[in-house]
Amino acid sequence: MAQMSESESKKKPFAGLYQSAYYFLPFYGTNAHKKPIFALNKTINMTKVYQNPPQSEWQMILARPASASAPQTAIKQIFDAIQAQGDVALVQYSAEFDKFAGVWPVSEDELLRAGGQLSEALKSAIEVAYQNIKTFHEAELPKQIRRETMAGVVCERRAFGIERVGLYIPGGTAPLFSTVLMLGIPALLAGCEEVVLCTPPQSNGAIHPTILYAAARCGIKKIFKIGGAQAIASMALGTATVPQCYKIFGPGNQWVTSAKQYANGLGVAIDMPAGPSEVLVLADAALPAFVAADLLAQAEHGNDSQVMLVTTNPALPEQVLAEMDRQLKSLPRAHFIQETLKNSCFLLFENKETAIEAVNFYAPEHLIVQSEYEDWYLPRIRNAGSVFIGQWSPESVGDYASGTNHTLPTSGFAKAWSGVSVESFMKFITFQTLSAEGLIAIGPVVEEMAAAESLDAHARAVSIRLAFLNE
């Protein structure tokens, strides 16, 4: 194997160790996938490592953790009560679940005071993120399509912002003000006439000022102190206080997720099927500290998250696990991370072809590629929510400020779904205009096709006009 130059080694940290270590850790034969390839670190000993698992076992190995779902009977009861009683039921549920019985709408004074509660450094960071997200999403704005498909037949497609959309922003253990930016900015750019935001309050009615500040920056004024399934139900059905929304966006716990699915069954659109957050790192010549940091960053979301490593470097799994153990000791959310690692695993493959096949099979929400072969891998990526390329592209930048959207498909839905974009907040209407000459040209085509489908009234709608033109 050719040696790397000094300059190449600097570009690819850990490359030298990768090339030498490849030969020293032996493969264990065809049954190696059934046992760990080395003794796992005690602190994170629930992380499983598989070597060359056959494709027939990928479904089991790469399965997402089972997520608890809210009972549908309870969700239905909430929706039925709010449908029948409106704000009266909402008062009861807010007191029971949010432990809050005050006024729901956030006042203009509360919005104005929010900025004063934040440091200048944080406000400056939010502004940089705002501008980056806006810049990228402006480029997503669709162009109007107008084509004359044949002489006298003009077809168009025009985009319109959805008139009223609802955003759900979790409070909980971490106020996700970044999600306000990720949803509020594309809604603003799409031209949505009304944006409604619900977020759970503290028992004293307070909303974290970062959420209010970000909402104000996005021009959102209708903000309600309502959380959980009752917030989704109120936006889906509408009450005297909360406007009914035509599409609902945003992450949440199993109650929020189940409520969104129930609302979708009632005909209210939602952004996408939601699930716990996840990351897959595809790495070979990578610095173990970087890989470990990326895995731990995603693991701290909660104990139902999942982090995965796919590699062709036999030395990397053990080195990453050791580095994770070292970094974990200094993280305040270590208890969340340790639970997450029970749902996670590392996969070691002999070649790049099988490695990328496993990546596409898993279809991760976030995919980080730290490889000396990234030029080979990138054209072969088919299923992922968002991809982070190279050693200087941590997933955290996408979560906050690079410009792409962090609302992404999870649980394998990246095989068919895309992340949130400006178009998620838009609908498209097609138009067609025919001249008399156009109808004369296309009319016989339509008559012939309608007759073949035995839809005589369809054919007559054309024939009656052609007869009129021939008089």
| DSSP letter (8 states) at residue 219 | T
406 is catalytic: no
Interacting residues of 88 by C-beta distance below 8 A, sequence separation 6+? none
Q: Read out DSSP for 337-402?
A: HHHHHTT-EEEE-SSHHHHHHHHHHH--SEEEEE-TTHHHHGGG--S-SEEEESTT--HHHHHHTS
Integer angstrom CA distances of residue 187 from 274, 403, 434? 19, 15, 34
| DSSP letter (8 states) at residue 34 | G
- Which residue is catalytic, options 323, 365, 395, 447? 365
- For residue 325, count other CB atoms closer than 10 A to its CB: 17
Between CA 27 and CA 350 the distance in angstroms is: 9
Integer angstrom CA distances of residue 323 from 134, 257, 319, 330, 349? 36, 34, 6, 12, 21
Question: How many residues are given for the chain?
Answer: 471
214 near 177, Cβ under 8 Å? yes
Dihedral sign for Cα 78, 66, 305, 203, please.
positive
Dihedral sign for Cα 75, 77, 83, 85, please.
negative
Ramachandran class of 268: left when φ > 0, alpha when ψ lies in -120 to 50, beta otherwise: beta
240 near 267, Cβ under 8 Å? no
- Beta bridge mates, 145: 157
Q: Which amino acid is at 30?
A: T
- Which residue is catalytic, options 137, 208, 301, 366? 366
301 is catalytic: no
Residues with catalytic roles: 365-366
